[in-house]
Structure formats: structure tokens, C-alpha cells
Amino acid sequence: MARVFNWQLGREMSYWYPESRPKKQFAAVFDINKCIACQTCTLACKTTWTSGKGQEYMLWNNVETKPYGYYPLAWDVKLLQELGAQTWDGGPYPGQTLFESARAGERVLGWRPQEIDYAHPNMGEDDCAGRVDKGCSLAIPHMNWFFYMARICNHCTYPACLASCPRGSIYKRPEDGIVLVDQGRCRGYQECVKACPYKKVFFNPLTGTSEKCIACFPKMEQGLVPQCFVNCIGKIRMAGYISKPEDARPENPIDYLVHIRKIAKPLFPQFGLEPNVYYIPPIHAPVSFSHMLFGPGVEHAIKEYRDAPNDPDLAGLLGLFGSSETVVAKWKRQGDWVSGYGEDGAEVVKVPLREPVHVRAGLDPAHGVVRTNCP
């Protein structure tokens, strides 16, 4: 095991290979508060990449209803149970990562989902709802709440899948940090499926190899965002590249949200993988739950996000989410307008700081009908 620095943990940790950061690191910010779980992202990915034989059950992108929705079943709570209770109140993480808590004979602490665990893409999604007249289907001692969490591969800086593969079939591209399974080399041992805490590597039973989200690298290479980003109805996603904290540039939208304003947080940073998909935490869910998911700093993120209407820069950047198929490498607010620029510096999109609002009368007198206002 080598010693590497994980800035999300604020400390060094053990990893199977020495630290080797890519020239650029693919990253994304998902605004949980905007997601409506329409699953358009899921289908965009499905039709593009996983419509083949043996891929029937695979969802490289999925949206699950937290706290009781999972794909595969109980992916997170099972691993949290394996890892055991850890505490983290801010500052360097004092607990154990998945690499540091690996059992004898293993490279990473993990578990293998069974086939049945993939049988229900979002089991538990309705358990917190229920028809008003019938009452909730789930009786729990706390107030009911839920939110939708979209998930793809986190293209981690320290991928557990990569560390676990005994034959080096998984690699992290030095040019953009995208993590891929070499389909010519994989022999289907499923060590990566076991090791990935996010369960974003899938075994294909007909080819006998494991497959995973590729961050639509053919598009990213052309400066275009992945399919699940461009098809997002709720415009919850922003794709780009993240810098190390000490190299953060405010004009880079990902850097601004993650490093400068600190409103987007990594998913389960305590696992130690330095995941590169960041979430703006849900403002209506208990902070304690978000703390478990996203680590320290959730309160600050929620406070900043709630204050966005009074914060032209933050509001402006949030308005750029999902506004262009081109990767927005830089952004700038000028007065009431916000512009996004591609990697070549050319403006690719310009949006108003606030969309003009038109409120129509409820009744259309010309046709004598009641209007339905749709977004």
C-alpha cells in the first residue's frame, strides 16, 4: 500500500497505488433540490450504452429515492454496516477508509450484490409517501421526508474498482481522469463489483466481463457533456473538470461550487475514494442524514444555497446548469446576464440572471377555459 493525500479527508491515507493525478479530472455537480426523478437521464444512458445482451439489468445512471430507495438493494447501508460507525466533525477525517479497513486477503472492504439485489431499480421509493386518505405505508418514529438522488460513476481519484482488479484491467485516463474497464483485458472476476462502494460496476453475464459508466468519453473528448447531463429535464447537472483545492479557479464553475463556495459535497467521502461527482445537499431533508451522505459542511452548503436568491453570482451560476451541451469551462456574470464559455474561450451560452416571469390569468375569457400553467 502507498500513502496518498485525499483532500476530501484532509489527510494522507493508504491506497494500493501511489498518487498519480490526471492532467484534468472529470467532475460534476448535481443539484439534488432540482431533481424530479423523471428518469430521463437513466433512459438516455440506457438507450445509448446498455441496450445490449447481458446489459438488461444495468443502470450506469440511476435515480433513487432516499432514504429508502436503492439500486442495487441496500448498496450504501450494507457497506456502512460493514465499515462500522465512524465519527467526523470536521477537520481531518479520524476514521477508517475502505482501503484501511480491508479484511485479510482483500484489497478493499466491499460486498457483492446478488442478482436479486438488482431486481428492483428503486425498491422502497414510495415507502415514505402513500395516499393521503389511506395514510403512509411506512410507520416510522420520525417525520416523513424524501429526496431524489441521481447517481453515476464518480470517476474517483482513488477508485476502489481499479485498486481491487488483480490484473490491472481498470485504468484511469491521464488526460481527463475518466475511469474505464478495458473490455479487451477484463476476465470477469467481479472484484471491482465487490469493491466499488457505489456499486457502479456491473457484471455482464453473457460476455463474462464487467462494464461501467464511461462518462460518455467520446462526447467529453469533443467538449460535449454526457448524455445523462444534456437530457436532464430538471437541468440539475453541470459537467466539467475540477482542480485541486489549492489550484481552484473561481471562473471554473465546478471549482467555484466545490472549492470556493463549498456548496457541493462529495458522496460518502469517508469511504476514501475522493469521488468526483458533487451534490448540492437537499434542503428539506434532515441535516444529520445529509451529514452521513456528504460529510462535514452540509449546514454551510444548505445555508448558502438557501441564500442564493440574494446572491447574484451563485444564482447566476446555478442558472447555467443544463443550459448547454458544450462543457462550460469558464463562466462570468455581467450585470443581469451570465455567460458560459467553452474550453476555447468562445461564449457558448448566455442566460438571464432571472428568467422573466409571466403570470397569466387563471381564466381565458376568449375561449372560456381554465388555463393550466406549465413550466
Partner 1 sequence: MRRIDCAVLALVLGATGTISCRKAAEKTSTEVVAVRRATVPADPADAAWKDAPAFPAPLILQDMVEPRLLTASTAEVRVRAITDGARVAFRLEWKDGTPNDKQAPATFTDACAVQLPGAPDQKDVPAPQMGEKGKAVEITYWRASWQAVVDGRGDTIKDLHPNAAPDHYPYEAASLAKGGEPQREMEQRYSPARSLGNHMAGPRAKPVEDLMSEGPGTLSPGPSNDSNGKGTRLATGWAVVISRRLPQGLVPGGRSQVAFAVWEGDHGEVGARKMRTGWVPILMEGKL
Residues near partner 1 (CB under 8 A) are: 47, 49-56, 104-107, 112-115, 117-118, 164, 166-168, 183-191, 193, 202-209, 211
Nearer CB in complex with partner 1: 53/360:
53
Cβ proximity to partner 1, 117 vs 325, nearer residue: 117
In terms of CB distance, is 211 or 274 closer to partner 1? 211
Q: How far is the CB of 82 from partner 1 (least distance, A)?
A: 15
Closest to 155 measured CA to CA, from 219, 200, 113, 207: 200
Q: Compute the least distance from the CB of residue 21 to partner 1, in Å.
A: 24
Evaluate whether 216 touches 227 at the Cβ level (below 8 Å). yes
> Minimum CB separation from partner 1 for residue 220, in Å?
17
How far is the C-alpha of 22 from the C-alpha of 144, rounded, in Å?
Answer: 42
Residue 299: partners with Cβ closer than 8 Å, 6 or more residues away? 287
| Grid coordinates belonging to 345 | 474561450
Considering the complex, state which of residue 16 and residue 268 has its C-beta at the smaller distance from partner 1.
Answer: 16
Residue 217 beta carbon to partner 1: minimum distance, rounded to whole angstroms: 13
Cβ distance to partner 1 smaller for residue 122 or 204: 204
Closest CB to partner 1 among residues 72, 275 = 72
Minimum CB separation of residue 179 from partner 1 in Å reads 15
- Shortest Å, Cβ 55 to partner 1: 7
